[in-house]
Amino acid sequence: MKFGLAFELSVPRPFTGTAEQDVYRRSLEQARLGDQLGFDQAWVVEHHFMEEYSHSSGPDLFLAAIAALTERIRVCHGIVVCVPEINPVIRVAERAAVLDVLSGGRLEFGTGRSATWTELGGFGVDPEETKKTWDEYVRVLPKMWTQERFSYQGRSFSMPERSILPKPVQKPHPPMWVAVTAPGTELDAADRGLGSYGVSLSSTLSDQEKRIAEYRRRIQLCDPVGEFVNEQVNTVNFLYCHEDEETALSTGQQLVTGFSSAAAQVLDIRDSYPTAAYRAPGLLSSIRQDIGAPTEGKRRPEALCYGTPDQIEQSLRRWESVGVDRVVFMVNYLEVIEQGAVLDSMKLFAREVMPRFGVKGFELAEPPTNGSAVNGSRLVETVS
């Protein structure tokens, strides 16, 4: 099992003085430490209009800063909202390639269509179209990266023949992922040969096991949209590691409830716009229902990764047993944990827990070979 970091860039009110600048600075410090400790991915979301919840409207710029400060950690652009009103696909291809160039071939590219009316409504997007435009994006992006010249006539855009520049460093192109919230999206990922980036925190471990098993089965039969198959499963979680159990549980619960409180103000599609295109509750509704309330008696849900090193190992073993390849951690939210405590938690996790899963804590791993699209033992199967 491998471990990554996830950055939402959440900013608590009041939005005055240097509040946003401080969050960005602390997050960069966390990413730089993660690179040194052996975390192998740094994911940065894209969100718009999401007060407190996420002030990450320019993730490509933030990832460029991470790339400049680090040597080994993969810079993970995800998810990119694959909706033409928000991100024209040509610009998506160009920006992603620039990130791969700047990072020396360390880009991972995540895709999705957004699940909040706050965002889609703000840009005047028809939710009925988002699944169709997402599918078009994931099919044309690899061609834009690999073909010397490209032209297209399609649903969401058309273009005459042009050379889209620059080209990515990684050959044939960066690994591609899909953000998975509602059940069934992991099958969309599998059918297209894309990695599954699970961001739903509501499913039980037994449910996750069934979904991952079906993903593994389906991806063996896939018709890949790109030049290779990315068979990896990530899941997003929270991390707070402390040797004192009482401190670990109380602080970890603050982290979880901080996330839940910010999510409560964001409108899911189903909350405000009746549409057949979003049949299942989104990520935020699930969080409100399942982890929104404080944990009674400071019980630690088995799937969440806060506690002592031994307790966190137990949770990770469960994720490992259901087939997850990597757990990606949010290490702070709404700045509910002081920065020094966040960094200490990361260091303790790297020293005490990571080695139990074959990852060397406090030692720098060998840097990846520039230009390789392979990242992880289960990643790539080249197809003709």
The model's confidence at residue 291, banded by pLDDT at 50, 70 and 90, is very low
Q: Per residue in 246-268, pLDDT tens?
A: 999 999 999 999 998 888 777 77
Mean pLDDT, all residues of the chain: 88
Per-residue pLDDT at 367: 43
Task: Please say if the pLDDT value at position 292 is more than 50.
Answer: no
Are the C-beta atoms of residues 110 and 43 closer than 8 Å to each other? yes
Say which DSSP state 128 is in.
G
∠ CA 316-355-178, nearest 5°, is: 45
Per-residue pLDDT at 378: 32
**Higher model confidence: residue 310 or residue 260?**
310
Q: Per residue in 201-237, pLDDT tens?
A: 656 788 899 999 999 999 999 999 999 999 999 999 9
- How many angstroms separate the most distant Cα atoms in the chain? 63
CA-to-CA distance for 112 and 29, rounded, in angstroms?
27
CA-to-CA distance for 350 and 360, rounded, in angstroms?
7
Lowest mean pLDDT among 239-253, 281-295, 327-341: 281-295
Per-residue pLDDT at 142: 98
The model's confidence at residue 84, banded by pLDDT at 50, 70 and 90, is very high
Are the C-beta atoms of residues 380 and 273 closer than 8 Å to each other? no
Task: Please say if the pLDDT value at position 50 is more than 80.
Answer: yes
The stretch 291-311 carries a mean pLDDT of 74
CA-to-CA distance for 95 and 159, rounded, in angstroms?
18
Lowest mean pLDDT among 42-46, 204-208, 273-277: 273-277
Per-residue pLDDT at 288: 44
Per-residue pLDDT at 210: 93
Are the C-beta atoms of residues 193 and 226 closer than 8 Å to each other? yes
CA-to-CA distance for 36 and 182, rounded, in angstroms?
34
The model's confidence at residue 281, banded by pLDDT at 50, 70 and 90, is low
Task: Please say if the pLDDT value at position 328 is more than 80.
Answer: yes
Which domains does the chain carry?
Answer: 2-382 (3.20.20.30)
> Which residue in 348, 130, 111 sits closest to 241, CA to CA?
348
The stretch 141-164 carries a mean pLDDT of 97
Per-residue pLDDT at 365: 43
Are the C-beta atoms of residues 360 and 95 closer than 8 Å to each other? no
Per-residue pLDDT at 181: 85
Beta strand ranges found along the chain (DSSP E): 2-7, 41-44, 74-81, 107-112, 150-153, 158-162, 176-180, 195-198, 228-230, 233-241, 305-307, 326-330, 380-382
The model's confidence at residue 289, banded by pLDDT at 50, 70 and 90, is very low
Element spanning 213, H or E: helix 205-219
Residues counted in the chain: 384
Lowest mean pLDDT among 73-87, 197-211, 217-231, 349-363: 197-211
> Which residue in 263, 216, 322 sits closest to 115, CA to CA?
263
CA-to-CA distance for 29 and 25, rounded, in angstroms?
6
Lowest mean pLDDT among 102-106, 193-197, 198-202: 198-202
**Higher model confidence: residue 298 or residue 359?**
359
Q: Measure CA 366 to chain center.
A: 24
Task: Please say if the pLDDT value at position 17 is more than 80.
Answer: yes
Are the C-beta atoms of residues 35 and 343 closer than 8 Å to each other? no
Per-residue pLDDT at 305: 96
In sequence order, what are the residues at sequence separation of 6 or more whose Cβ sits closer than 8 angstroms to the Cβ of residue 88? 157
Per-residue pLDDT at 290: 47
Kindly state the percentage of the chain with pLDDT values over 70. Answer: 85
CA-to-CA distance for 348 and 55, rounded, in angstroms?
28
- Is the Cα dihedral 316, 319, 324, 328 positive or negative? negative
Instruction: Specify which residues 109 forms β-bridges with.
Output: 77, 176
> Which residue in 264, 291, 301, 256 sits closest to 53, CA to CA?
264
